[in-house]
Amino acid sequence: MIDEELVQLLSPEGERVSHPQYQSSLNDEEIFGLYRDMVIVRRLCNESTSLQRQGQLALWAPVQGQEAAQIGAGRALAPMDFTFPSYREHGVAWCRGVPPEDMLRVFRAVSNGGWDPQRYRHALPTIVLGNQALHAVGYAMGVQRDGSEEAVMTFFGDGASSQGDVLESFVWAASFNAPVVFFCQNNQWGISTPSTLQSRVPLYRRAQGFGFPGIRVDGNDVLAVYEVTKRALENARVGGGPTLIEAFTYRMGAHTTSDDPTRYRVDAEVEVWKHRDPVERVKALLVRGHNLKAAAFDQVAAEADAMALKLRDDVLAMGRPDPITMFDNAYAGAHPLIEEGRREMIELGISGGAR
Amino acid sequence: MATTSMTMAKALNEGLRRAMEKDKKVLLMGEDIGKLGGVFRITDGLQKDFGEDRVIDAPLAESAIVGTAVGLAIRGYRTVCEIQFDGFVYPAFDQIVSQVAKLRKRSEGAYTMGLVIRLPFQGGIGAIEHHSESPEAYFAHTAGLRVVSCSTPNDAYWMIQQSIEHDDPIIFCEPKSRYWEKGEVDLDNAPHGLFDAVVRREGNDVTVIGYGSSVKTILRAAATAATEGVSMEVIDARSVAPLDIAPMIKSLEKTGHLVVVQEAPHTASVGSEIVAELTERCFYSLRAPGIRVSGYHVPYPPSRIEDDYRPSVDRILDAVDRVMGFES
């Protein structure tokens, strides 16, 4: 439908599609689990947008439309794998076990990070486009030196694919055969810049020029994303080197809550993608293929609502940090300017000095 | 105290070797650092002895050298990145400023950015463009980084080891024009802390502060000044960021006159910072305004005329005369 080279295992209507190289390995319960993840992440996203509109968040980067790409990829990971996201990977963060309220600390503007990346094996949001791709390759080089069978995955978008850091990371991953998977969510738009301005060729084909496989997957098909990612990760773990996955998807909402997509894209395009909704097609499969009853869906919706309520409470409870905390962890060792800043803040009564 | 005479290049090489022997997590990464031993031979023989996994010949991409070192740091490795020349560090500037400097804070201490970025800097080797720059101020200005510079083989040997052991990211500036000058290296005891400024020559009339290649030039000027009856106290700043300001204040309380020497142009420079700090902290000790002797505010010139760009003995002595003559 979108592209003959696209790996798809589930049609937009929720019908299974056969593919010569990939079959879904998931049972009904597991597919329902992915559906649940997607519903919760969409609810998380909608609640966050509301919180921003109500003045409770400085900004939000909506993920709506990309849930299958992120949940499919996130659930394909093994616990010991390590992930390096951009700033929109709320679905991946969810899969890694990052508490939703921690995802919102950056957007509440009370932190520049929000969680312990070593604990969840999920790095912090990276806002400068593409920087994280090099971190992933470096981390993967460390995995190689440790002789460990772990895979590393990094996330970026079609916009970041033009960044030198992403292209340098391709070079290095190939040269060192690093156990890394590059997961590019082509959501068609980099703010107002169409993906056609980033590349003349489908993005996944760039990998060939760097000497490793690239594959395009229907990013709105969670079953396909899961299988394609799982295989790429397994290949990386056993020394097969890097893979570029282009998840062909769509950013249904704005780039961020500060953006106005009506200025650069037409409604008709959005309408087309509404019919390819990642959540609805799994629901259709579950209803049609597995005869799942309404009560099961209601239960997931209730669970998502409960999560959203708790998230709202948690966010509203996040107060202004004590200004003196800005000095914490700026350096590991003692630093005279840090000590001077702390002292001044206390002397001026800006902070009580509680740490 | 056993000391050995060696060049700064050899001292750096020995310092790297010792750091690698002490800690298996120490890696070296850079362009042409393996078989070739680096264009300045600082890593000579290290790949042969420690293997290609620890002495990594990098594809030619500076942002990737630093960016992958960040990932290695997250994994618990300590990577010493070699940037081949000062003028080639700018492709890595984004990673250094946006990531290296900020990741410890962003992760609230979960990440240790224990990496060292070695930067052969300053001019004086008759090179073509981009091979003689002094970019230290860009990094000194960035919170989260530390910037140090060695001026002697002994400091080179110890400071590189201290930098590798330190948990903060360090921009390690090596005065390439001094690589081949010999000095005594004490292999047993570190002479100073990594961030200590050091008095290289005691004097009473004027305090002259510099770092890197400038230190030796200042010492030459001091020898000449002494024959003219002017007693210069020479301070090697060593740590460019943070500055070790206490010994500088102590010196100024004695001399009352300040000259700062650097190869970088002086607008928004480390030299400006030293003058501003000292003016703020010991205004009443100063008997004249502090003067900076710097590179001129032009792109680094063709090297046939670089000696008229870099602070010379004559320009330093002229500044000393001006600062000493201010009162009369």
User: Which residues of A are annotated as catalytic?
Assistant: 251, 255, 264
Question: pLDDT (tens digit, 9 = 90+) per residue, B132-152?
Answer: 999 999 999 999 999 999 999
Q: Are residues A316 and A330 in the same domain?
A: no
Please check whether residue A22 lies inside any domain of the structure: no
Q: Would the CB atoms of B53 and A145 count as touching at under 8 Å?
A: yes
Please check whether residue A8 lies inside any domain of the structure: no
Q: Which of A123, A131, A328 sits opposite B95 (nearest CB)?
A: A131
pLDDT value of position A1: 43
B166 in reach of chain A (CB within 8 A): yes
Q: Same CATH fold, B198-324 and B3-186?
A: yes
Task: State how many domains chain A has.
Answer: 2
Q: Would the CB atoms of A137 and B111 count as touching at under 8 Å?
A: no
The answer, yes or no, to whether residue A355 has pLDDT greater than 60, is no
Closest CA in chain B for residue A170: B64
Closest CA in chain A for residue B60: A168
Q: Are residues A58 and A132 in the same domain?
A: yes
Please check whether residue A256 lies inside any domain of the structure: yes
Amino acid at B151: S
B229 in reach of chain A (CB within 8 A): no
Of residues A351 and B292, the one with the higher pLDDT is B292
Q: Are residues A133 and A119 in the same domain?
A: yes
| Residue numbers in B near A333 (CB within 8 A) | 166-168
pLDDT value of position A354: 54
Q: Would the CB atoms of A112 and B105 count as touching at under 8 Å?
A: yes
What number is the average pLDDT over the span B11-15? 98
Please check whether residue A63 lies inside any domain of the structure: yes
Measured over the CA atoms of residue B101, residue B104, residue B106 and residue B108, the dihedral's sign is negative
**B131 a catalytic residue:** yes
Q: Which helix (H) or strand (E) holds B324?
A: helix B313-324
Q: Are residues A173 and A108 in the same domain?
A: yes
Residue B258's φ and ψ, nearest 5 degrees, are: -130, 130
Please check whether residue A6 lies inside any domain of the structure: no
Closest CA in chain A for residue B59: A172
State the architecture of B198-324 in CATH terms: 3-Layer(aba) Sandwich (3.40)
Place of tokens 């090596």: B174
Classified as helix, coil or strand, B47 is: helix
Dist. CA A35–CA A72, nearest whole Å: 10
Question: pLDDT (tens digit, 9 = 90+) per residue, A217-228?
Answer: 999 999 999 999
Classified as helix, coil or strand, B35 is: coil
What number is the average pLDDT over the span A61-65? 97
Interface test with A, best of B74, B195, B239 (most A CBs within 10 A): B74
Please check whether residue A70 lies inside any domain of the structure: yes
Q: Which of B74, B99, B112 sits opposite A139 (nearest CB)?
A: B74
| Residue numbers in B near A118 (CB within 8 A) | 74, 110-111
Q: Which of B67, B76, B103 sits opposite A134 (nearest CB)?
A: B67
Confidence of residue B328 (pLDDT cuts 50, 70, 90): low
- In this prediction, does ipTM exceed 0.85? yes
pLDDT value of position A3: 60
Question: pLDDT (tens digit, 9 = 90+) per residue, B112-121?
Answer: 999 999 999 9
CB A185 within 8 A of CB A155: yes
Q: Would the CB atoms of A138 and B245 count as touching at under 8 Å?
A: no
Question: pLDDT (tens digit, 9 = 90+) per residue, A162-174?
Answer: 999 999 999 999 9
What number is the average pLDDT over the span A91-99? 98
Confidence of residue A352 (pLDDT cuts 50, 70, 90): confident
Dist. CA A315–CA A326, nearest whole Å: 20
Classified as helix, coil or strand, B246 is: helix
What number is the average pLDDT over the span A265-272? 95
B68 in reach of chain A (CB within 8 A): yes
Interface test with B, best of A111, A112, A168 (most B CBs within 10 A): A168
| Residue numbers in A near B57 (CB within 8 A) | none
What is the rounded average pLDDT for all residues in chain B?
A: 97
Closest CA in chain B for residue A82: B75
Interface test with A, best of B107, B112, B249, B274 (most A CBs within 10 A): B107
pTM for the whole thing? 0.97
| Residue numbers in B near A112 (CB within 8 A) | 102, 105-106
A330 in reach of chain B (CB within 8 A): yes
Question: pLDDT (tens digit, 9 = 90+) per residue, B17-66?
Answer: 999 999 999 999 999 999 999 999 999 999 999 999 999 999 999 999 99
pLDDT value of position B176: 98
> How many other C-beta atoms lie within 10 A of the C-beta of residue A198?
17
Residue A212, class by beta-carbon neighbours within 10 Å (0-12 exposed, 13-18 middle, 19+ buried)?
Answer: buried
pLDDT value of position A291: 72
The answer, yes or no, to whether residue B129 has pLDDT greater than 50, is yes
Place of tokens 């440790």: A146
A264 in reach of chain B (CB within 8 A): no
Q: Would the CB atoms of B98 and A128 count as touching at under 8 Å?
A: yes
Dist. CA A34–CA A58, nearest whole Å: 30
B59 in reach of chain A (CB within 8 A): yes
Classified as helix, coil or strand, B81 is: strand
Q: Which residues of B7-24 are buried (b: 16+ CB within 10 A; e: fewer)?
A: bbbbbbbbbbbbbbeeee
A147 in reach of chain B (CB within 8 A): no
> How many other C-beta atoms lie within 10 A of the C-beta of residue A335?
19
Q: Are residues A206 and A337 in the same domain?
A: no
Q: Among residues B131, B166, B257, B266, which one is catalytic? A: B131
Q: Are residues A262 and A329 in the same domain?
A: no
Question: pLDDT (tens digit, 9 = 90+) per residue, B154-208?
Answer: 999 999 999 999 999 999 999 999 999 999 999 999 999 999 999 999 999 999 9
Measured over the CA atoms of residue B271, residue B274, residue B278 and residue B281, the dihedral's sign is positive
**Structural domain of residue A344, as residue ranges?**
322-355
Question: pLDDT (tens digit, 9 = 90+) per residue, A232-246?
Answer: 999 999 999 999 999
CB B253 within 8 A of CB B285: yes
CA A71, distance to chain mean position in Å, is 8
Classified as helix, coil or strand, B208 is: strand
Domain ranges (residues) in chain B: 3-186, 198-324
Classified as helix, coil or strand, B23 is: coil
Closest CA in chain A for residue B244: A336
What percentage of chain A reaches a pLDDT higher than 90? Answer: 95
| Residue numbers in B near A331 (CB within 8 A) | 104, 144, 146, 168
Q: Are residues A267 and A335 in the same domain?
A: no
Dist. CA B174–CA B185, nearest whole Å: 16
Q: Are residues A186 and A263 in the same domain?
A: yes
What number is the average pLDDT over the span A241-270? 96
Tokens in use for B210?
């510099």
| Residue numbers in B near A172 (CB within 8 A) | 59, 61, 64, 68
Q: Which of residues 116-145 of A touch B (CB under 8 A)?
A: 116-119, 123-124, 126, 128, 131, 133-145
Q: Would the CB atoms of B75 and A138 count as touching at under 8 Å?
A: yes
pLDDT value of position A226: 98
Residue B235's φ and ψ, nearest 5 degrees, are: -115, 130
Task: Using alpha carbons, list the distances in angstroms from residue A91 to A71, B70, B167.
Answer: 6, 25, 33
Q: How is residue B203 annotated by DSSP?
A: -
Please check whether residue A20 lies inside any domain of the structure: no
Q: Would the CB atoms of A118 and B143 count as touching at under 8 Å?
A: no
A263 in reach of chain B (CB within 8 A): no
Q: Which of residues 235-274 of B touch A (CB under 8 A)?
A: 242-243, 245
Closest CA to A144 of A213, A212, A237: A237
Tell the CATH superfamily of the B3-186 domain. Thiamin diphosphate (ThDP)-binding fold, Pyr/PP domains (3.40.50.970)
Q: Would the CB atoms of B64 and A172 count as touching at under 8 Å?
A: yes
CB B126 within 8 A of CB B297: no
